[in-house]
Structure 1
């Protein structure tokens, strides 16, 4: 009997230690993944170099006059910030551009220039918790999807109900674009989507990175970080599914992914493309790593985007 009591005592002690360790690890990885700030695993220089294949586009973006717009988030009452750039000639076409993880509106020069060259007005918001927008967490596109719908409605109010909208996003912005596509109250003026290297779901992406970067299994870390995110940020990883959202979409969508992407693995694009219910096209860019499809083959990329959108935006 005494031996059995000692066994249960030690079992409870070990269980308590494991629970404390899991909470500690989950809190640490919540800050790594969800809290805005410097991320050691993100590379890339902010300095613009002439060797950049998209140098001219990014230089144009740095120098072009931008209007600063503000909106309030759909939840949490956060003040959001965006750049608006009118087309060179009056236009009823506007591209709404979504940036990637720990990026912001100042880094979307190549995308903005591509659409501006195509005759579009351009709206580039900062997601909550990034750039000049308020917030103490990264939404990975899920709460942000509702913010983008508010941005679209503000745009229509300011620029007129005859605007034809296109939504475009890269990486987390690509996932955000797909998450928006599944919402019922997307304005009817939204004519098409272009998503570049978005993930299937936040749960899938965090699970992949936990294994790929830290050699950690899904259980118990990812569910624990997801639970903390639910408490602190109001959403969880499983509900934040681009795959489930795009399955509800019936509007045109162009899917783009690099075949050398190891951050959001290329394999994720295939179930996304298959699930989509609207007119669609898939472009796999050879030799492109994560979020580098445009830089790897600018002509193919821009030509494909333009040709696809011309079918649906007049």
Structure 2
């Protein structure tokens, strides 16, 4: 009888272990290998919406860059130079997108007197990297790009960073973690804490509710990709950001909730500005409010950058 109990317990333990292993692998696969959008779909979408002008892109002065990431791969970037200036903005796209999605912001900054660097995050577009880490490794990639561009434009040229969604979270993580070389930041719909973001998405699209699920995911994520969800928390480093930052969100965003931007705005010390649009789904603030969006950027730059500029 005792042997039979031990045998049954062993089978049940093995079954539970197998189930947890399957769940852990599946859950982390959903994060690490999140499906990216087809590049042709992005080009068609942006062209139809008149945010991507193929003729302009073909004839604008530009330089293709391949920048080495400290994480061991090459980052695909394009330095767009429509203007005779060293002023530059690095633009960070959101998850599943690519650098073509950044063109609309490049055109905005062109109107404001800046050249732009657009690039693909790891595992997106033409960049290397096997997994998406939602800012953990992306912040180091951004550091490499910032350092490269600063070397090109010199210490006295204005350098800004614009990030959208995951790109915005990566921007904050970069600015709050490293000795930054940028002069200003614009972050559009960033999440403040990835654990909370995953919980929100999980509870929205699945029947799962318990935080115990994330403990399992964290264990497998640490083993498989070298980090845990709690290490991707812009909220924890925002207080370290000294340079001026413009926070943007929209009330209609139900993917990354607006409160995340509001709490980081409150926590940010020093020069800062907040703009919350009434209209616009996730990462659609510019698409739905392009004129007011640009006006907000101008006000931010006039107030915090040009009055103190080195140029």
**Partner in structure 2 of residue 223 of structure 1:** 215
Deviation (angstroms), 1:36 = 4.9
Aligned partners of 2:48 and 2:137: how far apart in 1?
Answer: 37
**Partner in structure 1 of residue 289 of structure 2:** 297
Q: Tell me, yes or no, if structure 1 residue 103 matches structure 2 residue 97.
A: yes
**In the alignment, which of 125, 136, 149 is matched to residue 131 of structure 1?**
125
Greater shift, 97-106 or 9-18, is seen at 9-18
Can you give the 5+ residue segments of structure 1 that lack an aligned partner in the other structure? none
Can you give the 5+ residue segments of structure 2 that lack an aligned partner in the other structure? none
Contact kept in structure 2, 1:180 and 1:245, CA below 8 Å = no
Deviation (angstroms), 1:233 = 2.2
Deviation readout 1:60-99 (Å, 9 max, x if unpaired): 6643343111111122x111110111142x2231101111
How do 1:221-260 residues align onto structure 2 when only pairs under 5 Å count? Answer: 221-260=213-252
Aligned partners of 2:286 and 2:55: how far apart in 1?
Answer: 16
- Higher helix fraction (1 or 2): 2
**In the alignment, which of 19, 22, 26 is matched to residue 20 of structure 2?**
22
Aligned partners of 2:276 and 2:239: how far apart in 1?
Answer: 20
Deviation (angstroms), 1:279 = 1.2
For the residue of structure 1 that corresponds to 2:231, the secondary structure is: coil
Deviation (angstroms), 1:251 = 1.5
Contact kept in structure 2, 1:57 and 1:114, CA below 8 Å = no
**In the alignment, which of 107, 115, 120 is matched to residue 113 of structure 1?**
107
Q: Tell me, yes or no, if structure 1 residue 67 matches structure 2 residue 63.
A: yes
**Alignment length (residue pairs):** 303
**In the alignment, which of 44, 58, 63 is matched to residue 47 of structure 1?**
44
Aligned partners of 2:48 and 2:268: how far apart in 1?
Answer: 37
For the residue of structure 2 that corresponds to 1:281, the secondary structure is: strand
Q: CA RMSD in A?
A: 2.4
For the residue of structure 2 that corresponds to 1:161, the secondary structure is: coil
**Partner in structure 2 of residue 80 of structure 1:** 75
For the residue of structure 1 that corresponds to 2:249, the secondary structure is: strand
